[in-house]
Amino acid sequence: MDLSKLRRSDQIIAGSGIVLLIAAFLPWFSVDVGFASASANAFDFFLVGTLPTILGVVMATQVILSRLTDVKLPEAKVPMGRLHMILGIVVAALIWLKLLIGEEIGAGFDADRSIGIFLAALASLGLVAGGVLANREAPESDASPTPPTA
């Protein structure tokens, strides 16, 4: 496996997707009521936790498979850089929405934000940055200049 085949955008997307997966298993919200405590991770919140995690892992997997293996992936109707940018924005929007809104557990009590959601929020910004860079880079098919026609 030759990691030099990964472009900077690929490195950022793959790394951010892996960090997001790890953050999904960490506590996102916790509550401590003296005699008892509880926590919730990304998989307790499908729309703003599980779905963004799946999208981030799919983004990282696509980059790793397309650059580091001989697997032939189906062609997308949209340029892959643009698709990564759009998915990164969606992931970031969902996670940051949950971070800003928080979690109410009833009877006026709010759960405290924990390390997992902060790490996921940072990873989501990495997915956006990698997607923007990927969108700016020329696709592989356009990498070689075409000779001018007379």
Residue 74 belongs to domain with CATH number: 1.20.140
Does 148 map to a domain? no
Query: Could you tell me what percent of the chain has a pLDDT over 90?
Result: 68
Domain that holds residue 43: 3-140
Distance of CA 50 to the CA centre of its chain: 11
Does 106 map to a domain? yes
User: From residue 130, how far is each of 24, 30, 98, 120, 147 by CA, in Å?
Assistant: 20, 30, 22, 15, 30
User: From residue 138, how far is each of 32, 49, 58, 115 by CA, in Å?
Assistant: 51, 32, 21, 36
* pLDDT at residue 143, rounded to an integer: 45
Contact 85, 13 (CB under 8 A): no
* pLDDT at residue 139, rounded to an integer: 65
* pLDDT at residue 142, rounded to an integer: 42
Total number of domains in the chain: 1
Does 118 map to a domain? yes
Does 145 map to a domain? no
Mean pLDDT of 120-127: 98
Q: Is residue 32 scored above 90 in pLDDT?
A: no
Does 146 map to a domain? no
Mean pLDDT of 68-96: 93
Mean pLDDT of 40-63: 96
Give the global pTM: 0.87
Does 149 map to a domain? no
